C-alpha cells in the first residue's frame, strides 16, 4: 500500500487499540471477545489454520473478496457470535473502500472515529461575514453527536440554520465568542458537514451549473420530489437557466405555478430550502458581479466583471435596507 494508505491504517489501528484498551480496563471486553473467538475456532476443529487464515486476510483488507472454500462457514459463524470480529471487519471495510470517515462504537460504548479524507479548509479561510450551509439535516447531525460532545457545539448547531446570517450574527444569537464560532464552523467544514458561504440577499444572482446534467440521477429526482411535495427537479432547475437575481427566480417560479391547474403555494422559506437543496449538490452556482476601477491613460474607466464560482453561496432574503 502507498504511504497515505499506510498512514490511515496506522491511525485507525491506533484508535481501535486505544478503544479496546479502555473497554478491557472498564469491563474486560477484549478478554471476553478473545474467549468467544477461540471457542468458535476450537469447536470447529480448525484452530491454528483458521486463525492464520483469518489474520492474513484481515491484514490484507480483503476479507470480503476471499470468503470462499472451506473457510467460509467458520468465518461467518465467527461474525455471528463475536461482536469484535464484526466490528473489525466493518472498520477495515471502511478503510478499504476509502470512505469519508470511520465511526464505530466498541462494545456499544467507546466511540472510535477518524476522518480519512478531511477537507483542509482551516479556520484561516472562514470569515466572520460568511454564513454556513449544512450539508446534512441539522437534527440528524445532533442525533449523531457523542454523549460527551461539548454543549457549545450543540448550541451552535441549533442556531446555525437557516443560512441567512453571518457568523458574526450567529455568535450574537448563540451567545458565543466569534472566534469560537469560527473554529467550530471550520471543524464542520473539515468533516464535510457544511460549507462556508456568503449570506444571500434577494439580489444575489444564481445560474445553473454547467455540470448539472452530469450530476443529476434518477435517485436525486425522486428525493427532490419526496422532499418538496412532488416538485419536479428538472422543471425547477430550468428557472435558473438565466443568471438572474434570486428575487426574479422566485417570481418566475411563482408565476409558472399560478398558471398550472395543480397549483401548490410555495412560501419564501420553502423556496430558500429548495435553492439550498440545489446548492448542496452543486446543481446551481452563484454569479458574482464585481466592480473594478482601472486607471488607463489618466481616464478612469469602470469595468464590470462577471465571475462564476464553483462554490455555492446561499443565504436568506435580506433586503438592502436590512443589510445596511
Which segments of the chain have a pLDDT < 50? 1, 47, 55-72, 261-265, 298-324
Q: What is the pTM of this model?
A: 0.65
Pairwise CA distance, residues 63 & 78, whole Å: 13
Q: Please state, in angstroms and as integers, the Cα–Cα distance from residue 22 to each residue in 79, 111, 219, following that order.
A: 22, 11, 42
* 288 SS3 class: strand
Pairwise CA distance, residues 89 & 78, whole Å: 11
- Per-residue pLDDT at 138: 87
pLDDT tens figures, 223-266: 999 988 888 999 899 989 889 888 898 888 888 777 664 444 45
Helix ranges (H only) for 82-205 are 83-96, 138-144, 151-159, 167-174, 178-190
- Per-residue pLDDT at 3: 65
pLDDT tens figures, 34-75: 888 777 767 655 545 555 555 444 443 344 444 444 444 555
Question: What residues does 101 pair with on adjacent strands?
Answer: 115
Amino acid at each position: 500500500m502507498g504511504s497515505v494508505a499506510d498512514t490511515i491504517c496506522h491511525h485507525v489501528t491506533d484508535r481501535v487499540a486505544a478503544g479496546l484498551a479502555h473497554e478491557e480496563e472498564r469491563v474486560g471486553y477484549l478478554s471476553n471477545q478473545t474467549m468467544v473467538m477461540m471457542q468458535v475456532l476450537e469447536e470447529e476443529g480448525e484452530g491454528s489454520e483458521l486463525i492464520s487464515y483469518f489474520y492474513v486476510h484481515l491484514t490484507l483488507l480483503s476479507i470480503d473478496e476471499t470468503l470462499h472454500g472451506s473457510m467460509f462457514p467458520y468465518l461467518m459463524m465467527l461474525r455471528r457470535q463475536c461482536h469484535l470480529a464484526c466490528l473489525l471487519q466493518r472498520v477495515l471495510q471502511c478503510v478499504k473502500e476509502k470512505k469519508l470517515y470511520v465511526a464505530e462504537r466498541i462494545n456499544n460504548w467507546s466511540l472510535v472515529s477518524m476522518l480519512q479524507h478531511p477537507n483542509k479548509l482551516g479556520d484561516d479561510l472562514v470569515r466572520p461575514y460568511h454564513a454556513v450551509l449544512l450539508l446534512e439535516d441539522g437534527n440528524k447531525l445532533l442525533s449523531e453527536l457523542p454523549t460527551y460532545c461539548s454543549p457549545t457545539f450543540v448550541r451552535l448547531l441549533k442556531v446555525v440554520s437557516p443560512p441567512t446570517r453571518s457568523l458574526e450574527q450567529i455568535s450574537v444569537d448563540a451567545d458565543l465568542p466569534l472566534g469560537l464560532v469560527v473554529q467550530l464552523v471550520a471543524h464542520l467544514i473539515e468533516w464535510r458537514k457544511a460549507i462556508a458561504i456568503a449570506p444571500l440577499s434577494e439580489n444575489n444572482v444564481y445560474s445553473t451549473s454547467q455540470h448539472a446534467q452530469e450530476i443529476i440521477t434518477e435517485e436525486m429526482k425522486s428525493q427532490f420530489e419526496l422532499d418538496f411535495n412532488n416538485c419536479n427537479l428538472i422543471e425547477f432547475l430550468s428557472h435558473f437557466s438565466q443568471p438572474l437575481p434570486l428575487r426574479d427566480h422566485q417570481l418566475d417560479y411563482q408565476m409558472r405555478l399560478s398558471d398550472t391547474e395543480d397549483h401548490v403555494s410555495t412560501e419564501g422559506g420553502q423556496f430558500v430550502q429548495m435553492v439550498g437543496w440545489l446548492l448542496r449538490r452543486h446543481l446551481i452556482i452563484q454569479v458574482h458581479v464585481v466592480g473594478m476601477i482601472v486607471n488607463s491613460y489618466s481616464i478612469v474607466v469602470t469595468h464590470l466583471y462577471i465571475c462564476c464560482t464553483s462554490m455555492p453561496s446561499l443565504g436568506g432574503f435580506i433586503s438592502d435596507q436590512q443589510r445596511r
